[in-house]
Amino acid sequence: MKPIMNKKGLYALVCALMGLTFGMLTSCSDDLDVQQSYPFTVETMPVPTRIVKGETVEIRCELKREGRFSDARYTIRYFQPDGEGKLRMDDGMVLLPNDRYPLDREVFRLYYTSECEDQQSIDIYFEDNSEPAQLFQLTFDFNNKTEDEDTVVTSGGKELPVVIVSQ
């Protein structure tokens, strides 16, 4: 009776090992899992918040990627909810609102030129080509200033505008 029990136990063990081996072999794949999407941000230098009509503000930008994927592509577009102005790249290309443009370098400059005397706001969107696409947004708010507001004196923690009158 014992030899029969040992044969059954051995048979069960062999079947279990064969099933486990078969499961492991069929779960293997020759495909490599390559990460194709890495988080990214866009960092900027400080930007003036008060501008006059016709004045241009430089926005220095750097695309910061957490990883590298050779086929990663980035685009830029902008929307202006308040005010009027133009945004252009450092190569002179003027961007049209809501049109997408390829971003072919990681360090670049944008130039915003005010075309009104009201408060202005621009939203700049950066997007990659991953699935699903990642989106990074920058918002800049500019307040109008007049030529007389160039000099400011602080008193008691409050700003007091100084108007220089020539005789």
pLDDT in tens, 25-36: 666 666 655 556
The per-residue pLDDT for 114 is 94
3-state secondary structure of 92: coil
Domain 40-147 CATH superfamily? Uncharacterised protein PF12988, DUF3872 (2.60.40.2410)
Spans of the chain below 70 pLDDT: 1-5, 23-36, 70, 145-167
Neighbours of 112 (CB within 10 A): 24
**Whole-number Å distance between alpha carbons of 146 and 122:** 20
- For the chain, the structural domain boundaries read 40-147
Buried b (16+ CB within 10 A) or exposed e, 12-40: eeeeeeeeeeeeeeeeeeeeeeeeeeeeb
Neighbours of 155 (CB within 10 A): 7
